[in-house]
Structure 1
Amino acid sequence: MGFLGFLLLGLIAGAIAKAILPGKQGGGWLATLLLGVVGALLGGWLGGVLFHAPLQDFFSLQTWLLAILGSLVVLLVYGLVVGRGKRA
């Protein structure tokens, strides 16, 4: 998968993760892109380590599911970190 394909995957995975999570998450499209790309990296790494999953194909359902799950984890952690700063 090329660099632009990876960025597109991260953006879409981040947007889907934001739509799945309840509540209001801050950040615009740039934050969504960054969190999605980090989540896609995390999901791809965990998928490779735990399941020995090949993630080279952009149109693979396995690639998308791992990217979305990784983005969900990153968004949850981001929400916990940012949420604590607002309460103090």
Structure 2
Amino acid sequence: MDYDFLGWIVVGLIAGALAKWIMPGKDPGGIIVTILIGIAGGLIGGYIGSMLGFGGSNSNIINVLIATAGAILLLWIYRMIKARQA
């Protein structure tokens, strides 16, 4: 198993919690969807950060910041899509 991938999932859980704290409010999907968005944001942020040369196994704070930024972006997009559908 790729430990970087597993690490980004764990960091994504933390990022999801931070994104929810930074962007409070009622989410259309509830806590489970917010957690999944956090994991997805962590994976996407980790991938983009790796491609740009940021992060790495020794820079945990940067990894959390990158993942949180990805989670905030996905949460914002999700809220915009759900608001248009309502």
- Do they fold alike, i.e. is TM over 0.5? yes
Mapping of residues 16-55 of structure 1, within 5 Å: 16-50=18-52, 52-55=53-56
Aligned to 1:76: 76
Using the size of structure 1 for normalisation, the TM-score is 0.77
Tell me the CA shift for residue 71 of structure 1: 0.3
Q: Report the residue type matching 1:83 in the other structure.
A: A
Give yes or no for contact 1:18–1:25 (8 Å, CA) kept in 2.
Answer: no
For structure 1, which runs of at least 5 residues remain unmatched after alignment? Answer: none
What's the % identity of the aligned pairs? 36
3-state SS of 1:56 partner? coil
Residues 1:56 and 2:71 aligned together: no
Tell me the CA shift for residue 8 of structure 1: 2.8
Tell me the CA shift for residue 75 of structure 1: 0.4
Give yes or no for contact 1:14–1:35 (8 Å, CA) kept in 2.
Answer: yes
What RMSD, in angstroms, separates the aligned Cα atoms of the two structures?
2.0
Tell me the CA shift for residue 18 of structure 1: 1.2
Tell me the CA shift for residue 33 of structure 1: 2.1
Q: 1: distance between equivalents of 2:38 and 2:44?
A: 10
Using the size of structure 2 for normalisation, the TM-score is 0.78
Give yes or no for contact 1:36–1:71 (8 Å, CA) kept in 2.
Answer: yes
Q: 1: distance between equivalents of 2:64 and 2:79?
A: 22
For structure 2, which runs of at least 5 residues remain unmatched after alignment? Answer: none
Tell me the CA shift for residue 70 of structure 1: 0.5
